Chains A and B, each alone.
Chain A
Amino acid sequence: MSTLRERSPVAYALAGPVTLWMAAALVAPTLFIVWVSLWTTRTFSTANPLGVVNYVRFFHRPAYVKVLADTVEQALLLMAITGLVGYGIAYFLAVKVERPGVRLALFLAFVIPFWTSALIRTIAWIPFLGVGGVINTALLALRVVDRPVEAFLFSRAGITLAQVSFYTLLAAGPVVYTLRNIPRSLREAAHCLKASPLRVFWRIVLPLTLPGIVIGQILVFLNVMADFATAQAIGGHKLAYLGNLVIMLYESGQLPFASVIAVLLMACMLAGVAVLLKVVDVRRLGAP
């Protein structure tokens, strides 16, 4: 508990520096992007009025709308997969592994790959998925296939596989935390009240870890929505999500249109977070 009263001047003074920083580094650039998205010409001049023509243009191009739909769909797919896989890993780490040393070792094995840069992790998938890559070599050796499968690289399956490996940690981490916060006596009390392990899971463990699941889902959703590197490295130039579109347009100098897509991306993210926060009051996370 804070010893500061909510409205004490000291509290405002302490919040001052970070407020200034957030305003300069986050709020101002965001407003700037919104402003640029409303330009009606490629460059800004006071003679040209602001307008929504760029937005109208976006929604009149089926190809762009499809990219938007693909991006949201990919995010939902990743949420589903990492949600299930992540919960399984979290449950194993937090509940099934009883020795603290073993738990720490497994947790580190899970986390340490994330100490390398995202770019390296992405590139590392290429020799894995490629035509002469690990998977294909193994499949050929096992005579499962007689020709290398090209669909692993430069495909949605490949991108999804790589993204699952990157983002499962984000889905699992908060669940590990909420699972560890459930006192063992709650599960034991439920057992003594005639609940079998499966029913203890559904009635006690799952509801109590819901905040962790939601936080994890928010993190996965935001990261997949903003992810352009994976699609670029593994998908080649065949596949694009909103993030790739922003880069493409920016590189070709179409700043207002790139801003439109950035704004739409942010809007999707805000909407997604708002929906997820409806599911559970995250402020209660960590409360006993």
Chain B
Amino acid sequence: MTAAAHDLELRGVTKRFGSFVAVDDVSLVVEKGQFVCLLGPSGCGKTTTLRLIAGLEEADAGEIRIAGARVDDVPPWRRDIAMMFQDFALFPHMTVARQVGFGLEMLRQPREEIRRRVGEILDTFEIAGLGPRKPDTLSGGQKQRVALARALITRPRILLLDEPIGSLDFSLREAVMLELKDVQRRAGISFVWVTHDQNEAFSLGDRVVVMNHARIEQVGEPEEIFELPRTRFVAAFIQGHNVFDGTVERADATGVVVATSAGRFVVPLRDTPAPAPGAAASFSVRAELLDERPGPEHANRVLATCHAVEYLGSVRRWDLRLADGRSVKLERSGRTACRLAEGETVTLGWRIDDTVLHAPAEGVGGVGGHIGAPHVDQ
């Protein structure tokens, strides 16, 4: 292993089930000790990607490297990984102590050594008392800890987690998330965490990989994903964005004018090349960056009527309708002066700089999967 080797590297990995492409040309690098979240709707290929890394599925194309070495022909039991399953996959016929020590037993460690390390790890996870119990007598939270202890006891390089807190009670999740993050930091193990929950991905991940239709839509730090969604799908999937679709009317070096059925808007160009006039384009603006009393700096404007107000505790959300009937969300957190009432019509404005142009949709599938965001057709 060279010093420069990444913990994990995927290059152009593709997996098909019959004619269905589950993972399409996915490339990804995980640095040592990194916490990476694969985020996407169900069926987007995130779990298959995880299973490919584990060796539970065989890739049809591309290569996977763990610590620099190709593992495409290495079976799961010889890969330096561990995996936590959504249902925990605890062995029903083994006591907690026995199954936590299972990995070491398979590595043919001496019995005394296994006993000592099982004791240690049970202490670490504060489940020392559970040793003689069988899985069917454990609570969800206890099962989760046992599964984690069982996975980590062999000190793997990478831990793969498939929706590991998805089956826990909602009240437990926050605490378990913090604990897992802490475990990951202290053990220095790379985590690849699959989830469909953006809160999980954003609060845990050093990097977030958004997937859709078997492909990676965007890779970046949580802030980057949230503030600059690269594609229409990302903007629509991540909550808190208003997505607009239209056609490019004019373009110059600094920005484009996009005509939509709700009006014309100026969208700045960042690192994307200027699209040709007449091309389809989509852009988004975050719900909390809309201003209901726009000033001179809020150059993009649209007339909207308040349809409903949602109170979500620390956040208040207004659902407004544009002239073409599409919905737009406005969000304010904390104590806000915004007092829009249902039925009221206002001019919403936002800064040109807060408008994010999406990369054009590529290949098959195109745009889709919009969730709770406006979709303005031509």
Contacts and interface: CB of A to CB of B under 8 A. Distances in A.
A196 B106 CA distance: 8
Interface of B is mostly: mixed
A286 to B, nearest CB: 12
A189 B89 contact: yes
A199 B55 CA distance: 17
Given A191-B75, A193-B150, A288-B136, A199 B106 contact: yes
B367 interface: no
Contacts of A288: 92, 136
Contacts of A186: 89, 91
B243 to A, nearest CB: 37
Contacts of B92: 208, 287-288
A204 B77 CA distance: 15
Nearest to B162: A185
A188 B55 CA distance: 10
B226 interface: no
Given A194-B103, A194-B154, A188 B89 contact: yes
Give the size range of A's interface with the partner. 10 to 19
Interface in A29-80: none
Contacts of A268: none
B331 to A, nearest CB: 39
Given A207-B93, A208-B92, A288-B136, A192 B77 contact: yes
B184 to A, nearest CB: 18
B85 interface: yes
A183 B107 contact: no
B76 interface: yes
Nearest to A193: B103
A35 to B, nearest CB: 45
Given A186-B91, A208-B92, A193 B154 contact: yes
B54 interface: yes
A185 B103 contact: no
B102 A193 contact: yes
Given A207-B93, A208-B92, A192 B136 contact: no
A194 B77 contact: yes
Contacts of B93: 207-208
Given A208-B92, A288-B92, A193 B82 contact: yes
A189 B54 CA distance: 10
Interface string A189-217: 11111111001000110011000000000
A185 B87 contact: yes
A188 B56 contact: yes
Contact of B85 (A188, A195, A196, A203): A188
Interface in B25-57: 54-56
B89 A196 contact: no
A189 B136 CA distance: 17
Interface string B111-141: 0000000000000000000000000100000
A203 B150 CA distance: 16
B206 to A, nearest CB: 23
Given A194-B77, A288-B92, A189 B85 contact: yes
B106 A193 contact: yes
Interface residues of B, number: 25
A195 B136 contact: no
B56 A195 contact: no
A288 B135 CA distance: 10
Interface in B307-325: none
Contacts of A183: 87, 89
Given A188-B56, A288-B92, A194 B106 contact: yes
A200 B231 CA distance: 44
B83 A192 contact: yes
A113 to B, nearest CB: 33
A188 B76 contact: yes
Contact of B91 (A190, A192, A196): A190
Contacts of A199: 106
A181 to B, nearest CB: 10
Given A190-B91, A195-B106, A185 B85 contact: yes
A195 B89 contact: no
Given A185-B85, A204-B91, A191 B102 contact: no
A207 B95 CA distance: 13
B266 interface: no
A199 to B, nearest CB: 6
A191 B106 CA distance: 10
B22 interface: no
Contacts of A204: 91
B89 A191 contact: no
A92 B160 CA distance: 30
Query: Which are the 6 A-B pairs with shortest beta-carbon distances?
Result: A189-B89, A194-B106, A185-B89, A193-B103, A192-B83, A191-B76
Given A190-B91, A204-B91, 17 more contacts: A183-B87, A183-B89, A185-B85, A188-B54, A188-B89, A189-B89, A191-B55, A191-B56, A191-B75, A191-B77, A192-B83, A193-B150, A194-B107, A195-B106, A203-B102, A208-B92, A208-B93
17 contacts: A183-B89, A188-B54, A188-B76, A189-B89, A192-B56, A192-B151, A192-B160, A193-B77, A193-B106, A193-B151, A193-B154, A194-B103, A194-B154, A195-B102, A196-B77, A204-B91, A287-B92
